[in-house]
Structure 1
Amino acid sequence: MQTQPELEPLLDFSPYRLLTEPDAVHLRMRAEPPVRLVREESGFTYWLISRYAEARQALRDPGLSNDPRRLGHAVDTANAYSPMANNDPPHHTRLRGLVSHGFTRRRINALAPRAESVTGELLDAIAPTGRADIIADLAFPLPVLIICELLGVPTRDRETFRTWAARTLSTAAGPRTREERSRRLRAYFTRLVAAKRAAVRPDLAPDEQPDLLSALIVAQERDSSLDDDELIGLAVLLLVAGHETTTNLIGNGLLTLLLHPDQLVMVREDPTLLASAVEELLRYEGSAGQSSLRVAVDDVVIGGTVIPRGSVVNIGLSLANRDPEAFRDSDTLDVRRDPNPHLAFGHGIHYCLGAPLARMLAATALGALLGRCDGLQLAIPPDELRWRQISILCGLTALPVSFDPVRPETSGT
């Protein structure tokens, strides 16, 4: 085992490049070592992990810290949405345990009928026109409305909330503007938590509460180790991080199917393939191109390479998900792929807690689109599509499509 000499990066492997030129990126990266030291033009140096086995090992290695405070000047490039996502045990273990009492599969399953209803209403609005921007008309509003339902945001606030979410996630605003909007969002949740605390029923278990915020309040009262700042941070995480990832999954996923019409037809003709199709889209399209940055708290050995203590580590999830040693025909989209142990939601103790919600919303949205919109196709050439990148996430700014118009009286819900 030996530490590699410093190497310059040979190509751009940002989430944007991974989505727009995937074949070029993946073929080139496979010619490089699975664990390599790279340096950006800015001088920022880190270790890139680009193969599946090494990525799984790194995601589970306790010697790699997920706490952005250890990253120093690199903290701005880390995903710093959450006090839970960006912490190490035992603090992370405590927070995740408390959240898991309310964020249960049962609660997510109970949201499915509402997700179907909202999706139907959104599609009803566009069905007669035969044209839509899938991002603005479905992929953006659906997650934010369902996350509002999950958190227990009052109905009267949801349209305002939707506007806040759009502005908070906007790449047009500068850092100071986004920071101010984030403060306003936290202030709103502070007031909402106070109102719910006054009305919560402490005799009910967390998973019996009417919404997730009420469940977290009860969990907080039963275990005082969860403070209000952490509770508010978790709510912001669910809105911002959960919303952005699901919007990208729906938008990028639909685009991927449109660019692979044989696979789209298979899912349309056999809706039982929706679940496996969503898993394959997660593996293939890779909107979360990399993990949040880690830092080595000790010398760590990954794939036979020593990563010295204090080093920054970037785990290339999208690169790992196209590793031909882990996935047969790894560059082929196969909606029937089984098994499909992709790393799109991470692995180990930081595996995405919101994964079941994202899967459910993506399957609901894509299933409804394919089921109701005959003749669905891109309305502009693929090279005219525009992309946005927020932290480690990359998605479409718009996805114009056309389809056969459906008269309102036949559209259904």
Structure 2
Amino acid sequence: MRAEPPVRYVREESGFSYWLISRYAEAREALGSSALSNDPRRLGHAVDARNAYSPMANNDPPDHTRLRRLVSHGFTRRRVAALEPEVNRIVDELLGAVGPSGRTDVIADLAFPLPVMVICALLGVPGRDRAALRTWAEHTLSTTVGPRTREERSRRLRAYFTQLIADKRVTVRVTLPPDEQPDVLSALIAAQEQDNSLTDDELVGLAVLLLVAGHETTTNLIGNGLLTLLLHPEQLRLLQEEPRLMPTAVEELLRYEGSAGQSSLRVAVEDTLIGGTLIPRGAVVNIGLSLANRDPGIFPDSDTLDVRRGPNPHLAFGHGIHFCLGAPLARMLATAALGALLERFRGLALTVPPDELRWRQISILCGLTALPLSFDPVFRETSRT
């Protein structure tokens, strides 16, 4: 598919058609192209579950530029780095609860609750409310509950954040710099108060986005990544012997088995050349991230998992103006979760055959519904803080 040619026209049995991009150079070019719109309103009848749920991710400049600038004020690397002790504490707590039993469902016991709890802390959600938000977020994304339940949970999330923002607005100190605000929501409220460039609906939508979309990608990264390591036991053993490799391993897991196999759909707003192929105005474009991340011209032995691989310029977080704003947080959470699992538990093994595992597709994201494991029940205490 990459070789003949890397940009090709595809028509599905349903009649839906698009241009599929399957090689790294062309994918990177398309991700950075201003001629390809990310606004789902341009898709018309093609709008479907393959496009995400984000007012910022699915938008074009100047609105995208405005929203991303405001969110980046609160979602700084410094703020994310400051969360590391809290992340380690939550990981310790979650693993401590299952350690003595010798069995766990990694998705339910770690990969799902960890990002929800951390994102709630980042947003400034009071501790007493976090369990409820965890349930609402789970139902919002669940494929096992009915649409009415999902819609009702989505409404509850929006109503909750509407009230939380109103409560915070009373005490927020507008003059404080973003990094000195107590949480991301306070930083966004302060930015809104200063220049009125963020509407109330956008502010609520961003809060829901950060919770729902932010945790789903990280849940999948942890689950998909651990399964990949279990299916490559020599690489898992290497990480247990050399834990310093974990940050490099996370990059390789993102490349090898990332959460998103494709980008959200784009639409050509003008005739445009990608890789020498003319894509006509109005055409839908599907950028194959998983195909690009296995391009042997960029990644030697591209179908081999190598936790030592470097450099690793994968496209799992996208490229250009839509590069994932939460990438530093996702990397930190995956490094902490996988590192702690491999450090503490030995004899990690699936309790079901790999072909019996079940997957769910949420928008462009794909992840496990459960990952049941057994391990040495001796819990390994650590001195991490």
Instruction: Name the counterpart of 2:92.
Output: 120
Answering whether residue 129 of structure 2 is matched by residue 157 of structure 1, we say yes
Answer whether contact 2:103 2:374 (CA < 8 A) is retained: yes
1:44 alignment partner, one of 8, 11, 16: 16
Instruction: Name the counterpart of 2:331.
Output: 359
Structure 2 CA distance for aligned equivalents of residues 78 and 196 of structure 1: 35
1:259 alignment partner, one of 231, 240, 254: 231
Answer whether contact 1:124 1:411 (CA < 8 A) is retained: no
Instruction: Name the counterpart of 1:372.
Output: 344
CA positional deviation for 1:93: 0.7
CA positional deviation for 1:176: 4.1
CA positional deviation for 1:180: 2.8
Structure 1 CA distance for aligned equivalents of residues 210 and 128 of structure 2: 20
Q: Give secondary structure in 1 for the equivalent of 2:285.
A: strand
Answer whether contact 2:137 2:153 (CA < 8 A) is retained: no
Answer whether contact 2:123 2:184 (CA < 8 A) is retained: yes
CA positional deviation for 1:140: 0.5
Deviation readout 1:4-34 (Å, 9 max, x if unpaired):
xxxxxxxxxxxxxxxxxxxxxxxxx345421
- How high is the TM-score relative to the length of structure 1? 0.91
Identity of aligned residues (%): 77
The one-letter code matched in structure 2 to 1:178 is: R
The one-letter code matched in structure 1 to 2:46 is: A
Structure 2 CA distance for aligned equivalents of residues 51 and 231 of structure 1: 37
Q: Following superposition of structure 1 onto structure 2, how do residues 86-105 of structure 1 map, counting pairs within 5 Å?
A: 86-105=58-77
Structure 2, unaligned runs of 5 or more: none
Instruction: Name the counterpart of 2:102.
Output: 130
Deviation readout 1:160-210 (Å, 9 max, x if unpaired):
111111111101234443233212211111001000111111221122111
Structure 1, unaligned runs of 5 or more: 1-28
Q: Give secondary structure in 2 for the equivalent of 1:342.
A: coil
Q: Give secondary structure in 2 for the equivalent of 1:48.
A: strand
CA gap 1:127/1:412 in 2 versus in 1, 3 angstroms: farther
Answer whether contact 1:47 1:307 (CA < 8 A) is retained: yes
Answering whether residue 38 of structure 2 is matched by residue 66 of structure 1, we say yes
Answer whether contact 1:388 1:395 (CA < 8 A) is retained: yes
The one-letter code matched in structure 2 to 1:138 is: L
Structure 1 CA distance for aligned equivalents of residues 52 and 371 of structure 2: 28
CA RMSD of aligned residues (A): 1.3
Answer whether contact 1:50 1:316 (CA < 8 A) is retained: yes
Q: Give secondary structure in 1 for the equivalent of 2:84.
A: helix
Deviation readout 1:335-368 (Å, 9 max, x if unpaired):
0111000000000000000000000000000000
Deviation readout 1:251-306 (Å, 9 max, x if unpaired):
00000001111111111111110110000000001220000000000001001100
Instruction: Name the counterpart of 2:222.
Output: 250
CA positional deviation for 1:78: 4.0
The one-letter code matched in structure 2 to 1:157 is: D
Instruction: Name the counterpart of 1:189.
Output: 161
Q: Give secondary structure in 2 for the equivalent of 1:77.
A: coil
2:253 alignment partner, one of 274, 281, 291: 281
Instruction: Name the counterpart of 2:54.
Output: 82
Answer whether contact 1:68 1:78 (CA < 8 A) is retained: no
Q: Give secondary structure in 1 for the equivalent of 2:8.
A: strand
Deviation readout 1:319-342 (Å, 9 max, x if unpaired):
100011111110000101110000
